[in-house]
Amino acid sequence: VEHYLHNIKAKAELNAFLEVFEEGAFAQAAIIDQKLANGTAGKLAGMVIGIKDVLAYKGHSLQASSQILNGFKSLYTATAVRRLLAEDAIIIGRQNCDEFAMGASNENSSFGPVLNADDTSRVPGGSSGGSAVAVQADLCLASIGSDTGGSVRQPASFCGVVGLKPTYSRISRYGLIAYASSFDQIGLITKNVTDAALLLEVIAGKDDYDSTVSQREVPAYSELLATDKKYKIGYIRDCFESEGLDAEVKDSILAVKDMLMEAGHQVEAVDFPYLDYMVPTYYILTTAEASSNLGRYDGVKYGYRSENATDLTSLYKKTRSEGFGPEVQRRIMLGTFVLSADYYDAYYTKAQRVRRLIKEKTDELLRSYDFLILPTAPTTAFKLGENTANPLAMYLADIFTVQASLAGVPAISIPVGRDANGLSIGLQLMTRSFEEPQLLAFSNYIL
């Protein structure tokens, strides 16, 4: 705890943590010391973990990096966090992120951007930017983030760490602030695959507080990391031919592909005809869900309330105009539009159908191949401010991560190289639903 607290203070300019639970962390550490002495410590004893500011931890502030939740404190603890604590992990603090997890650069936080520790003129990715930088810069051992369309995998790629988004429904969402519920997932950011496996086996599994969580047994992932199997791997040709793909990222991923072929795996190019539809489908559906989920922030129930209101309607309007940042407002408007009576069928219903096509095609490919490999992001970490004036350019940063989110299949980003500027390049692997054991084992093998 002392080690990480020291690093957090020394590297405060990175802006990775919104709040550090110094007292609480020492108190937990003291209890764990005793448990270690009498042999009753849990399996995460002493693991120091940071949590993204979208996860509830009873008695602690929770804001989703937004002003609209200013002053709000959690009334209960998220299931994932509760399970970490039950195994004697130590929660060191809450981490900066894009407001309501909407963003790909952490520049949408009302607490200012997080800086990439490899080059502080660059973004860490988002929306779990603080969580990725915290692991990158050794401010904690691991982070718990959320991934709706890439928010764990893309910052992991930009920061040279491991980012895992499991199968949709593998981890309870109880206590996770909702952005787009049919996509939202808790994910893990770690230094290596073993830590991801260990954390996943602790936090995954059925939960009476989330009716959408899977009832399947949770395998002991950390004991299943050895593999000498020869796999069948597809690489999505269209991704490698896409315009915005950086040449160094492409070469680096193709080099891994060649390495796998030489090692005796069967690697083939596959076609995925829906690449152009991925980002639009994702943004229509997630903004629709967000406009509904964020309706609850009305100035009455949670956090911030405008002082300038004169009646109930103006209370809603002023609270929401003052409390939400520009990107969140943009998405609420877009989502409200695609759900409005006149446009519902043209946009929302259509996008639901396209999502189904994308899911079916992805599942079909994954019946023939054990893994699909592709870059996590089309570029390495970009400069702060580079994409802020152009939301569409920012949305395209998600082109390779939203497929697994639309399809609900598990995906991981692992660091496989660096570009000429020394910036990290992430390889993304997808596999069939609930095949996390082979996803983790094969990632471990590649690393």
Catalytic residues: 52, 127, 151
Burial of residue 153 (number of CB atoms within 10 Å: 0-12, 13-18, 19+): buried
Place of tokens 């009455």: 300
Nearest distance, CB of residue 150 and ligand GLN, angstroms? 5
Contact partners, residue 13, CB within 8 Å, separation at least 6: 115, 120
Cβ(282)–Cβ(351) under 8 Å?
A: no
Judged by beta carbon, residue 146 or residue 376, the one nearer ligand GLN is 146
Q: How far is the CB of 300 from ligand GLN (least distance, A)?
A: 26
Q: How far is the CB of 309 from ligand GLN (least distance, A)?
A: 30
Query: Minimal distance in Å, beta carbon 151 to ligand GLN?
Result: 3
Cβ-in-10-Å burial (0-12, 13-18, 19+) of 298 comes to middle
**Nearest-approach distance from CB 445 to ligand GLN, in angstroms:** 27
Which is nearest to 363 in space by CA: 444, 272, 238, 260? 272
Judged by beta carbon, residue 179 or residue 235, the one nearer ligand GLN is 179
Question: 101 or 141, CB closer to ligand GLN?
Answer: 101
Q: Six-digit token pair at 161?
A: 């760490």
Q: Which is nearer to ligand GLN, 47 or 402 (CB)?
A: 402
AA letter at 429: L
Amino acid at position 81, single letter = V
> Structure tokens of 372?
């699909």
Sorted by sequence, the CB contacts under 8 Å of residue 207 that are 6+ apart come out as 79, 172, 174, 213
Q: Whose CB is nearest to ligand GLN? A: 151
> Would you say 162 and 415 are in contact if contact means Cβ atoms under 8 Å apart?
yes
Relative to beta strand 90-95, strand 48-52 is parallel
Smallest gap from residue 28 Cβ to ligand GLN (A): 28
* Greatest CA separation for the chain: 71
> What is the nearest approach in angstroms of ligand GLN to the Cβ of residue 220?
28
User: In the complex with ligand GLN, which residue's Cβ is closer, 198 or 404?
Assistant: 404
- Closer Cβ to ligand GLN, 65 or 79, answer by number: 65
Residue placing its CB nearer to ligand GLN in the complex, 231 or 400 = 400
The residues of the shown chain that bind ligand GLN, judged by CB under 6 A, are 101-104, 127, 146-151, 179, 286, 398
> What does the alpha-carbon distance between residue 279 and residue 405 come to, in Å, rounded to a whole number?
11
Which lies closer to ligand GLN via its Cβ, residue 150 or residue 234? 150
Shortest distance (Å) from residue 286 CB to ligand GLN: 6
